């Protein structure tokens, strides 16, 4: 195996270890993530610099909200974070969240540290099916575009034309290089089981109507209230 490929695998392993290595504690971590997801969504949705998020939410099939995605690098980079996936039903009502991890590894001359929060708006059935059923790779299995930020941007309404997923992110810190391209989205069976009390597939949770947890109702209501 090439040296570059080995470094990339090591970086990705480190990224996933950041968010999957520590077991959840009796639902508390899952519950905290759901609340952080609610606050993250409201923060970006109500920010006047993210007006295009509002427009895309009207077209959304689902959203993946990642409250904290940590990224650090010195030559070899790694990033990762946990999030929740929520979909609309045929009547436009938001369902219950499934838990996922997003992570990536990279190799190259780069240095820095970032902490970002993101709302990934899923616009197509193809994009939703890919995220639910697979360990999907953004930019490979589904197309992803970065949502425009700020006012008066030329072509802002067409930047994401044809994309399966449009990502809106806020970043703190300094980092040279990197994007969502190549990131993996992987289901968190452990948190799904702990939050719902039984072994369920992400499809059972996200697209089913038989399973619920009232501790996610505040998040659902925040999404439902978004015009």
Indicate yes or no: pTM above 0.85: no
Residues 6+ apart with CB under 8 A from 79: 15, 69, 70, 71, 72, 103, 104, 105, 114, 178, 183
For position 61, what pLDDT does the model report?
95
Domain locations in the chain as residue ranges? 3-150+157-225
Q: What is the pLDDT of residues 95-113, one digit of tens each?
A: 999 999 887 654 444 444 4
> String of b and e for 43-52 (b: at least 16 CB within 10 Å)?
ebbeeeebeb
Average pLDDT over all residues of the chain? 74
Q: What is the pLDDT of residues 112-167, one digit of tens each?
A: 445 578 899 999 999 999 898 777 777 777 787 877 665 433 333 434 567 899 98
């Amino acid at each position: 195996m090439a040296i570059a490929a080995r470094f990339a695998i090591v970086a990705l392993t480190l990224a996933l270890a950041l968010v999957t290595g520590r077991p959840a504690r009796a639902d508390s971590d899952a519950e905290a993530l759901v609340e952080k997801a609610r606050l993250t969504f409201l923060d970006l949705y109500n920010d006047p610099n993210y007006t295009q998020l509002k427009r895309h939410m009207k077209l959304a099939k689902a959203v993946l909200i990642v409250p904290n995605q940590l990224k650090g690098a010195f030559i070899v980079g790694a990033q990762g974070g946990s999030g929740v996936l929520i979909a609309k039903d045929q009547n436009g009502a938001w369902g219950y969240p499934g838990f996922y991890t997003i992570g990536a590894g990279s190799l190259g001359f780069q240095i820095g540290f970032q902490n970002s929060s993101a709302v990934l708006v899923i616009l197509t059935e193809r994009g939703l099916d890919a995220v639910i059923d697979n360990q999907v790779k953004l930019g490979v299995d589904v197309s992803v575009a970065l949502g425009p930020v700020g006012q008066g941007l030329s072509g802002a309404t067409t930047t994401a034309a044809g994309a399966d997923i449009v990502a809106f992110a806020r970043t703190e810190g300094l980092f040279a290089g990197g994007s969502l391209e190549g990131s993996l989205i992987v289901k968190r069976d452990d948190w799904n089981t702990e939050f719902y009390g039984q072994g369920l597939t992400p499809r059972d949770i996200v697209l089913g109507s038989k399973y619920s947890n009232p501790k996610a109702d505040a998040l659902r209501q925040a999404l439902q209230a978004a015009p």
